Amino acid sequence: MGMARWWGQTLVDSQRALRLPCWAVIPEFYQFFLNTKILFQAGISQNFGHECEQLGVQKLFLICDPFFAQNGLADSIQEALANSGIQTVGRFSEVPPKSEIQVVQKCAEAAMASGAEALLALGGGSAMDTAKTANILFSLGGDLVNDYSGSQTISEPLKPLIAIPTTAGTGSEVTSSAVIFDEASQSKLSFNDFNLRPTLALLDPEITLSMPPKLTAMTGMDALTHAIESYTSLQANPMSDALAMKAIKIIKNHLLSAVRQGDDLEARSNMLVAANMAGIAFDHAMVGVVHAMSHATGGIAHVAHGLANSIYLPFGMEFNLEVAAERYAGIARRFGIDTRLLNTDEAARAAIAYVKQLRKDLYVACGLEFRLRDVGVNEDQLEAIAQAATEDGTSFFNPREVGYDDVYLKIKEAY
C-alpha cells in the first residue's frame, strides 16, 4: 500500500507531524471520489449483459481463480453472457493464491491476443489484483515493474474492468490498489492509482453461499479490520466514517450467521455489502497498525491476510487505546453494547473485549485460530515481524506512532 496519496497529502503531512486525528471536527480538507459503479442483486452475475452494452463492450476476457474454472461458475457466467449477445473471447484461470508479475504479464498477453474490449475478474483478492494490474498492460502496454509500480503512475483511464468478488472481505472490487509479488526482486510491489478501480463491481451474494466457513470467517474479519482501522485512521473523513460505522454494525449482526449457516442468503448479502462498504472506507481513509502487523506476518511467516488481521485486531486496538478511546467507544455502540453507564475508556475496552469474544466464537464455529503460535509462527520470528511492522506503509496512517518496543509487546501478546 503506497504512502503517497493524491488527495489530502498536505493535510495528512501536517496531521502526521502532530499525530493529530481529525475525528472530532470536519477535516480542513478531504476528498471522496469513487469511479466504480456498484450493483447489488442476488443472481446479478448471471444477468449483466445490458451493463456491458452500456459500456459499449461486446467481447470480454475472463480472469478467475482455478477453482471457479473447475466448479462451473465461470462457464455459467459465460453462458449467461452469450445469451445476451456478449462474447467471452478468452479466459485466464491460472491465478495463484499470491499473484506474481510474470503471471500478470502472461494474463495481459492472452487478453490482448484474444481481441477482447474489456476484462472480467471473478475471484478473491489475488484474481482481482491480477486483473487490475493486467488491465494496465492490456490498456496501455509498457513495463509493469518499471513504468507502473508505486503511486499515481497511470496517466489515463484504463479499459473497462468488471469485477465479481467471490469472497466478502478484501473490498478489492472498489479499491485503487493492487499488490503483486515480483520473483526477480523477491519483493511485493504495490500499485496505487484511482484508475485501477474496476469500472463496475457486481455484488452477487449467491456466489458466496458456498464459501467454506473458515474462509468466510477470515475474510469477514479482514472486512471488520478495514472498517475499524479506517475509522481510527489519521486520514478518516466523514464519508469514510459513515461507511465504516455501517459496515461494523452489519458485520456484528451477520458474520457469525454467515459462518455457522453458509446458505443463509440474508447473512451472505449483508456480509458482501459490508465488505464492499469497508473497502470504500479504507481506500479513502487507509488502514493502520493491525494491517502493518499482518503484512509483516504474511511476509515473514506466510499467515493468510484475513487470519492475521483476526489475530491482531484486538491487540492493535489496545495499542491505539490511549489515542483512540473515543472512537472505540463509538464502535462499542455499533457492537450493540450499552455504554450509557460507562466512561469513555471503559466503553472503548468493552469494544476490544467484544472483538476478543468474537474471535473465540469464530474459533468454536469454524476453528479460526486466534493465536500466532497456532498458525505456524515461531517465537524467534517475532522480532523480525515487529521490525517489519514499523516499516510497513500502513503504519504511516495509524493514529499512534508505531514504535518497535510497543508493537513488539503487542505481537508477543498475540503469540
Q: How far is the CB of 231 from Fe ion (least distance, A)?
A: 14
Q: How far is the CB of 371 from Fe ion (least distance, A)?
A: 20
Nearer to Fe ion, 121 or 137 (CB): 121
For Fe ion (CB under 5 A), the number of binding residues is: 1
276 forms beta bridges with none
Interatomic CA distance for residues 228 and 247, integer angstroms:
9
Is 369 a binding residue for Fe ion by CB under 5 A? The answer is: no
Nearer to Fe ion, 93 or 232 (CB): 232
Interatomic CA distance for residues 297 and 415, integer angstroms:
11
Interatomic CA distance for residues 267 and 241, integer angstroms:
23
Q: What residues between 126 and 185 interact with Fe ion by CB under 5 A?
A: none
Q: How far is the CB of 285 from Fe ion (least distance, A)?
A: 13
Q: How far is the CB of 207 from Fe ion (least distance, A)?
A: 20
Nearer to Fe ion, 317 or 350 (CB): 317
Q: How far is the CB of 291 from Fe ion (least distance, A)?
A: 6
Nearer to Fe ion, 103 or 290 (CB): 290
x/- binding map, residues 219-248, to Fe ion, per CB under 5 A? ---x--------------------------
Residue facing Fe ion at closest CB distance: 222
DSSP string, 305-369: HHHHHHHHHHHHHHHHHHHHHHHHHHHHHHTT---TTS-HHHHHHHHHHHHHHHHHHHHHHH---
Nearer to Fe ion, 101 or 292 (CB): 292
Q: How far is the CB of 321 from Fe ion (least distance, A)?
A: 21
Nearer to Fe ion, 172 or 195 (CB): 172
Interatomic CA distance for residues 234 and 287, integer angstroms:
9
x/- binding map, residues 185-224, to Fe ion, per CB under 5 A? -------------------------------------x--
C-alpha cell at 176: 485503487
Residues 6+ apart with CB under 8 A from 239: 30, 32, 284
DSSP string, 192-212: E-GGGS-SEEEE-HHHHTT--
64 forms beta bridges with 122
Q: How far is the CB of 297 from Fe ion (least distance, A)?
A: 12
Which among 55, 57, 58, 61 is positioned nearest to 113, based on CA atoms?
A: 61
CB 201 within 8 Å of CB 165: yes
Nearer to Fe ion, 189 or 342 (CB): 189
| Three-class SS state of 121 | strand
Provide the binding-site residues for Fe ion, judged by CB under 5 A: 222
